[in-house]
């Protein structure tokens, strides 16, 4: 048994991770949770309840199994927008590529995850599941999964103790041992490392989705402690492009509108950073008639900004004149108190980048400034002379806090996870060592191809002659593994 | 006294007007009314309450005078985004162009209207005010106005009897008779015509903002019954361009996102109608990566759509393949039941045009179809085979129902109203006859110029030599009165 | 007989007109005249030659009838891109709406004009034709027309005497008197007024295409001297939109590239004037990645520029930093010597507006500045310190001088001319008085509709019910005659 | 001495290379060669002439040393647009990073190359130079270089024997042996390998610019025959992005306009391939109002096309309806005779990709089809039924054949070459082995940074704290070497 002090340390680490705003994480896809039947005043802890699903099983722990029907409807709606997973199910009617797989998972529990989970089931896998975040579980969805036989251990508003208890209930089972891990954030992996290291003997691989989880896996690998192959699905080309460029192109507009009802036309905006996120923000705002300035540290990205039609400036050159400041850097203290002091009245400040330290929000917590919460996620910070700065989401990720993530984007992530599990589970001995891998190019292409029907898009096939001329296999991969750029 | 039967007729007319979705009407600019202190369970009718403001006046009727402070804050925030009215106030510190004016008004009562009303006061006018819509009054704002001395008669949730009672209280006052009318919808004007026709002897003019109100004025004029000059501010160039092209360009995205969380990229959309509203919708969706088709009846607009890069089609040619259908026609039955029958599963249908008959929603109220309300303003209409159509706002105006109108747009309208009042009030005898007028070009230009500082925009002035060459006055108007096109 | 002095005056006037750069005039559509067989060293004046076409007629005067075959091929190519006129011919196989019409024309003589002329013939008209410009005739095309029986009097490089002689030969014919005039610039009309005023008794109308010609007609009308109806086709909505917005959107890029081979991406550009021409230039350059500033005198256009995403500045605020200056104002001395003195090295200056006085080119003809012609239409003006300004087309219209006009645009003009002739010729007595008219809305719509098939565009037809609801005729016009704005 | 048969083989290889249209090659930047004094009827071979420059040297062989002054002016104009090289010269006033370098070069000889060559000289190098293409030398520029002391051996219209003779004269010199090679196409390298293999003992490295040359170096490396380090500057990120995305975005419009004078608005276009070149073409045409379809074989690029708003189709689905077909694939037989047979009348076909086999032009050389050359680079291919296809540049690269390459793009290439030479020449022993290298990320960033002043672009510098947080050096590189994607 682990000692108390160790547990506390783990908790602290876990909390820190939770607080780290993570790009690519999208817990609250169906924002209007208000429409849910969730407002039960039932204060009893799920751990203290005796619940059974209609088939008599009690191998689960959810808020209220009676909410299953409502959750099922949500899952059905999500299914309509996740055609790639549905296509996988169809193809799996004959062969079951995950037959024999025993997957333990730890992710946000949403309708989209449920579609993934049920797809894994349809592919032959047995699954047990916990939540990777104490707040993000949709109770009705968890109930629906439990009702249809999935051992799910999760509810909204878990305590930290609940959190680890749930994970433990997924892993520590009589007569069942996982041979695959699907993780989002690294907590499940961490738990098994700490408590049941022997389990890794039977585990064929880990699939990890989050930046933080991947970071930890690379550190394990560097330290020589990674004892199974791991697949980094966070960095797959398809997922990255959607999570960053395409998704941010839409969510910057959505996030600003929902919080401020502002008009974009004619507004002067400075976007700090011209990576994929910055490119998406700039393109959208320019298209809506804003005048956009860009700051950059990297001359190559800077030159791109120029060619794309944006004035490249230093922040302090435009800080007095702009109506909106958006950070997309991955850096810290990009917007300092000095900048904030010089902004004009009503300037809007928000972060689309990574951590909430891109804007030095801490520097605004000083006595001479007054904070006024004018709406959810919107604070007015008021200077002694009456100047107001409009700070969104307290500097945390705007698109995570103030807009929703389309199911289509989640579908790409979920499909990538499913394929990564299939690949690791079926890979011949020796293909993968005890290291962290990117999804093979070909599977990345496969994920993309599964999403083309959504757009009624028709791919061209190479003729034999052409394939030979290009030195390619007709079925791909069409680009080398290292190819990430020309995407 | 009017007879009961007549009153009933009037009521019916009024109701019909209320139900007519009106472009250019924007009652709910600050949508998150949830933040308001409005949830008082106070069931007493304001008409039965005894209220006094802090100066002892009781010449008003609002929900709760105690909410004044909250409303004042809303007004202050709106002031920051209505620089044109604030500039008018400043210029009026010397001369008072509305000194002696007695304005009776009937509009939506929002923070933006309050800024207008207090500007009229600062320009020298006395005002009395009622609401033009039984639902759209923001009680806190009404309270704040009453507190600062404006006789306001309005609250959210008036009965029809209340509605006319409030209007009557504005007009029927001992020792005070209006000499100017500011109307939005024509109800106030209608009331005076019916009840106090003699009042028109002292009235210098009517300023009307809505399509319906303007329509009625033209009909009065045609019938020879218009007995004072009227200014149609609805059709001023600046207002039209903002209400239609620029505002719709942003609100189509906002309305779709808030209701459906959809991704725009790659979606196939058909926009019916390529007037200003259609142009705005098309431009925005194209910029976000949608593939947009257009339908048109007018070959000139059709040719424009072609040159702007949109495939011009008949609706039935693309109806099976599109993901979204948007009507912007001003016509009726543009989307018929037959079209709806042929749409694909999950197709989104909405209206940005004029009336809720653009989509034949009535045809969907048949027994074989199931309606499911999935969110506020979002219905799934389900066919027997399981196909779902996503109908937004039951076919009423999407941007009115599901997105907000930026204060900047309201500022243009309000400034136009203020200038129209000034013009009519100060016009020398004979400039305006008993007819309906458009705002003089020069004043339209003035409204625009008052909004340029918002963008830190610097206008160029003609030299004497250039003015002579062009045959223009250096201060405008710069275009002839009939010039509407090249805008 | 007119006196010599009067003739001289006329000549001067004519020359002044010729030197006025005229928007909407597009003489050199097929620029690569180099490919023509034109380089004959034949110095004999056509007036001194004896030429017959293959049918034995000698009622024409062109450079060389033997070039007919080459010209015919050019006409055939143009026919392929002028489907509207070809459609008119087809419809005229039954009825001949111009049967009996005797049209005398004076226009640029190009392949496109030839298609127009032969269409008029197919519609039943007899035509006689001269050139409206002493340089713009394509000799091969003139030869082809003469060969197929059209009395054409025109060649490239006419003297002024030749010019009037040709016009006279069209009008002053035994046994033939025109009853319709098609003019471009007003010279033909002017000639008949001066020499054969009695001819107007039989003339049913004038169709005029150019700004200058229209201007003269309005002056005649004002002076009460216009003795037949005239149709101003220059200001038809369709033509205007194409000549200005759409055509300039493409020709600004073309003109700059052909003259300077510059890269647009990242360049800072100031566009003076935000009318239709300015809008087209701004949109194109923004799309190519330039950073565009706008100057305006009219606050309404200025506000539009803001909402479209352009910084509105005064010219002197950005003159030191911009790479390109483009005038689109219709004004004069917009770019002054002072501005030119302050521009940076290599700055490009050009005019897309109206007259060559928009840029004060005259001010550059001073001893301290050196002019260096580096290419056709490209001058370097060099300051004493070595700074060079790149002046295009000596400040004349860039798109007229340095780019070509697509046949499609000319097709719209030619179709409008044809329909205007038909309308005037067939109008019932009294429909048109001795005044200048715009093309009826319905015919404007018809021109547009004839060009839709080019885009495979399918117009929607109103149902009876819809037409009634909108109060429109099913076949149009769809907008009121005064409607020019919402286009 | 090499045997005749070997020489013939080499010649054939050389010719084949010459005929291969090469992306990234831009021989004719200043297209209007017509302005040159080149039309001398001097038929004497330069090899037979006795020429001396003004300093008495005759160590060169050019067409006519007297043209030097004209060439010098061209070089001076180019200098103004190549600020990066001029900046390098300035920095080299103190240290001479190429002191002692003896560079033999073989490239196109244009004004831009001259600026490069003279920069190398200013950096301390001695240079000898030949042309890499028998047609592309600008004689005046070669004369100017010879006049200022550069041993240049090149003229326009060399025979193949001349070609190798010139190269040999650069290398085979008494008392001078090169220690660096700058090659474009691999011919110079090939010649030294074949004739003077011992020279490689003193050679510190090869810098190669072309696709073909790089391909040959990789083959040599694979075969273990590469005996010095080589730098592949073709694949540097900056160069690629400019040569492909940004340059094609502009040149597709330029190439189409110059050849066909077509209007882009409303045209239906299919672009085959959605790599960087295809992306550039699609973006430009969409911006000009064309309706663009895309074909792709790679599902990832296909998904991008969808999200960017283009319908993804198979070519045969749209071939009957499109107005323009553009190939950008790098593949062959993408447009087959079958496609060509089905295109509609007047369809324009062109290639922006790699080789002239993308369109199966050979299949059009059959008896039933008539070819008609209507302009330079424009052929009408006419079917028996009269249908015409407009084929541009006979299927060779449109932008190479029919548009110009902006000096700015050439400046990036030239700067990259200069930095690669400096890097290889100064690299400490052991940094580079006998292999092919990409330009280090940091130098790529340096090239970019040298071009930012052109845009008056201001780069932001990391603070120490930020650099530490990101784990970066403040001066870069800012991205890992493998980073190519997020550019």
DSSP assignment of B122-156, as one string?
A: HTT-EEEEEESSSS---HHHHHHHHHTT--EE--T
pLDDT on residue A240: 83
Each residue's pLDDT tens digit, D405-440: 788 888 999 999 999 999 999 999 899 999 999 989
Each residue's pLDDT tens digit, C374-390: 888 899 999 999 999 99
Q: What is the number of CB-based contacts under 8 A between chain B and chain C?
A: 164
**Pairing relationship of beta strands B370-375 and B378-382 according to DSSP bridges:** antiparallel
The answer to whether C278 is annotated as binding is yes
Q: Tell if the CB–CB gap between A459 and D297 is shorter than 8 Å.
A: yes
Q: Which residues of D touch C263 (CB under 8 A)?
A: 246-247, 250, 406, 408-409
Closest CA to B253 of B144, B348, B117, B155: B348
Peptide bond into C477 cis (omega under 30): yes
Establish if B246 touches chain A: CB-CB under 8 angstroms: yes
Rg from Cα positions in chain D: 24
Q: Which residues of C406-417 are buried (b: 16+ CB within 10 A; e: fewer)?
A: bbbbbbbbbbbb
> What number is the average pLDDT over the span C30-54?
66
Give, in degrees to the nearest 5, the angle at Cα A296 between A291 and A302: 80
- Chains near B with 3+ CB pairs less than 8 A apart are A, C, D
Establish if C261 touches chain D: CB-CB under 8 angstroms: yes
Q: Tell if the CB–CB gap between C257 and D403 is shorter than 8 Å.
A: yes
Question: Cα–Cα distance between D209 and D232 in angstroms, integer?
Answer: 6
pLDDT of residue A20 exceeding 80, the answer is no
Interface test with C, best of A306, A309, A312 (most C CBs within 10 A): A309
Give every strand in the sheet of B205-208, ordered side by side.
Answer: B152-153, B126-131, B102-107, B180-183, B205-208, B230-232, B436-438
Establish if B317 touches chain C: CB-CB under 8 angstroms: yes
pTM: 0.88
pLDDT band at A7 (very low <50, low <70, confident <90, very high): very low
Of C24-28, C449-453, D159-163, minimum mean pLDDT range: C24-28
Question: Cα–Cα distance between A170 and A179 in angstroms, integer?
Answer: 13
More confident residue, B33 or D138: D138
pLDDT on residue D211: 84
Nearest CB to C291: which of A288, A289, A309? A309
- Chains near A with 3+ CB pairs less than 8 A apart are B, C, D
> What number is the average pLDDT over the span A142-169?
96
CA of A70: which chain B residue's CA is closest? B374
Paired strand residues for A373: A379
Backbone angles phi, psi at D348, to 5 degrees: -100, 135
The answer to whether A273 is annotated as binding is no
User: Within 10 Å of residue D451's Cβ, how many Cβ atoms?
Assistant: 25
Token pair, residue B203, equals 């009235």
The answer to whether C273 is annotated as binding is no
Establish if C290 touches chain A: CB-CB under 8 angstroms: yes
pLDDT on residue B5: 52
Please check whether residue D389 is in contact with residue D343, taking contact to mean a CB–CB distance below 8 angstroms: yes
pLDDT of residue C422 exceeding 80, the answer is yes
pLDDT of residue A140 exceeding 50, the answer is yes
The answer to whether D110 is annotated as binding is yes
Q: What is the complex's ipTM, to 2 decimals?
A: 0.86
The answer to whether D353 is annotated as binding is no
From first to last of its 487 residues, chain B has per-residue pLDDT tens of: 445 454 444 444 444 433 333 333 333 333 333 334 444 556 789 999 999 999 999 999 999 999 999 999 889 888 988 989 999 999 888 889 999 999 999 999 999 999 999 999 999 999 999 999 898 899 999 999 999 999 999 999 999 999 999 999 999 999 999 999 999 999 999 999 999 999 999 999 999 998 889 989 999 999 999 999 999 998 888 888 888 889 899 999 999 999 988 899 999 999 999 999 999 999 999 999 999 999 999 999 999 999 999 999 999 999 999 999 999 998 999 999 999 999 999 999 999 998 889 999 999 999 999 999 888 889 999 999 999 999 999 999 898 778 777 888 889 999 999 999 999 999 998 999 999 999 898 999 999 999 999 999 999 999 999 999 988 999 889 876 655 433 2
Establish if A175 touches chain C: CB-CB under 8 angstroms: no
Each residue's pLDDT tens digit, D329-354: 989 999 999 999 999 999 999 999 98
Each residue's pLDDT tens digit, D197-252: 999 999 999 999 988 899 899 999 999 999 999 999 988 888 888 888 898 999 99
Each residue's pLDDT tens digit, A286-319: 999 999 999 999 999 999 999 999 999 999 999 9
Three-state SS at A141? helix
Token pair, residue C20, equals 């006025």
pLDDT on residue A482: 54
pLDDT on residue C37: 43
pLDDT on residue D406: 83
Token pair, residue C386, equals 């070595």
pLDDT band at D5 (very low <50, low <70, confident <90, very high): low
Q: Which residues of D touch C246 (CB under 8 A)?
A: 263, 265, 289
Q: Tell if the CB–CB gap between C250 and D257 is shorter than 8 Å.
A: yes
pLDDT of residue C34 exceeding 60, the answer is no
Establish if D197 touches chain B: CB-CB under 8 angstroms: no
Establish if C313 touches chain A: CB-CB under 8 angstroms: no
Establish if C310 touches chain A: CB-CB under 8 angstroms: yes
pLDDT on residue D80: 84
Token pair, residue D71, equals 């060439």
Establish if C286 touches chain A: CB-CB under 8 angstroms: yes
Establish if D195 touches chain C: CB-CB under 8 angstroms: no
Nearest CB to C296: which of B304, B313, B460? B460
Q: Tell if the CB–CB gap between D307 and A246 is shorter than 8 Å.
A: yes
Q: Tell if the CB–CB gap between B307 and D290 is shorter than 8 Å.
A: no
The helix or strand, by DSSP H or E, that contains position D183, with its residue range, turns out to be: strand D180-183
Nearest CB to A286: which of C266, C288, C309? C309
Rg from Cα positions in chain A: 24
pLDDT on residue D11: 43
Task: Give the closest-approach CA distance of C125 to chain B in angstroms.
Answer: 28
Question: Cα–Cα distance between C390 and C413 in angstroms, integer?
Answer: 33
Closest CA to B272 of B214, B201, B353: B353
Please check whether residue B169 is in contact with residue B221, taking contact to mean a CB–CB distance below 8 angstroms: no
Residue C389, classified by CB atoms within 10 Å of its CB into exposed (0-12), middle (13-18) or buried (19+), is: buried
pLDDT on residue C220: 93
Each residue's pLDDT tens digit, C155-167: 999 999 999 999 9
> What number is the average pLDDT over the span C7-27?
39
pLDDT on residue B235: 86
Closest CA to B226 of B234, B217, B235: B217
Establish if D286 touches chain B: CB-CB under 8 angstroms: yes
pLDDT on residue C482: 54
pLDDT of residue A9 exceeding 60, the answer is no
Give, in degrees to the nearest 5, the angle at Cα C179 between C177 and C184: 105
- Chains near D with 3+ CB pairs less than 8 A apart are A, B, C
Establish if C164 touches chain A: CB-CB under 8 angstroms: no
More confident residue, C206 or C22: C206
Task: Give the closest-approach CA distance of C46 to chain B in angstroms.
Answer: 42
Nearest CB to A315: which of D307, D333, D460? D460
């Amino acid at each position: 048994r682990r000692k108390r002090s160790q547990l506390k340390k783990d908790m602290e680490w876990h909390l820190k991770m939770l607080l780290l705003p993570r790009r690519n994480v999208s817990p609250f896809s169906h924002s209007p949770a208000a429409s849910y039947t969730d407002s039960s005043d039932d204060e009893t802890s799920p751990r203290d309840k005796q619940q059974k699903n209609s088939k008599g099983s009690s191998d689960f722990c959810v808020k209220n199994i009676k909410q299953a029907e409502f959750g099922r409807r949500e899952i059905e709606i999500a299914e309509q927008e996740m055609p790639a997973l549905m296509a996988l199910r169809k193809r799996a009617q004959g062969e079951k590529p995950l037959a024999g797989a025993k997957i333990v998972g730890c992710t946000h529990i949403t309708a989209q995850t449920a579609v993934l989970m049920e797809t894994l089931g349809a592919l032959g896998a047995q699954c047990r599941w916990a939540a990777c975040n104490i707040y993000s579980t949709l109770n009705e969805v968890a109930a629906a999964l439990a009702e249809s036989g999935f051992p799910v251990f999760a509810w909204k508003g878990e305590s930290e103790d609940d959190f680890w208890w749930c994970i433990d209930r997924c892993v520590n089972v009589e007569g069942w041992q996982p041979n695959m891990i699907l993780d989002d954030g690294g907590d499940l992996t961490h738990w098994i490392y700490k408590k049941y290291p022997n389990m890794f003997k039977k585990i064929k691989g880990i699939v990890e989705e989050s930046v933080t989880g991947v970071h930890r896996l690379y550190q394990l690998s560097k330290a020589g402690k990674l004892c199974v192959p791991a697949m980094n699905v966070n960095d797959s080309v398809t997922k990255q492009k959607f999570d960053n460029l395409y998704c941010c192109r839409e969510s910057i507009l959505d996030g600003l509108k929902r919080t401020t009802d502002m008009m974009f036309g004619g507004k002067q905006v400075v976007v700090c950073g011209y990576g994929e996120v910055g490119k998406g923000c700039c393109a959208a705002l320019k298209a809506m008639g804003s005048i956009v300035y860009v700051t950059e540290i990297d001359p190559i990205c800077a030159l791109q900004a120029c060619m794309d039609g944006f004035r490249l400036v230093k922040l302090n050159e435009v800080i007095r004149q702009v109506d909106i400041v958006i950070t997309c850097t991955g850096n810290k203290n990009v917007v300092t108190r000095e900048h904030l002091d010089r902004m004009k009245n009503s300037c809007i400040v928000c972060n689309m980048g990574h951590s909430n330290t891109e804007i030095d929000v801490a520097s605004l917590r000083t006595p001479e400034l007054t904070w006024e919460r004018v709406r959810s996620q919107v604070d007015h910070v008021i200077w002694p002379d009456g100047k107001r700065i409009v700070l969104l989401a307290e500097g945390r990720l705007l698109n995570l806090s103030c807009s929703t993530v389309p199911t289509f984007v989640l579908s790409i992530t979920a499909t990538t996870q499913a394929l990564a599990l299939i690949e690791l589970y079926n890979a011949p001995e020796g293909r993968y060592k005890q290291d962290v891998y990117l999804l093979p190019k070909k599977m990345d292409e496969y994920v993309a191809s599964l999403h083309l029907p959504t757009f009624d898009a028709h791919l061209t096939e190479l003729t034999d002659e052409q394939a030979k001329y290009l030195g390619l296999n007709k079925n791909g991969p069409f680009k080398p593994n290292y190819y990430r750029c020309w995407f």
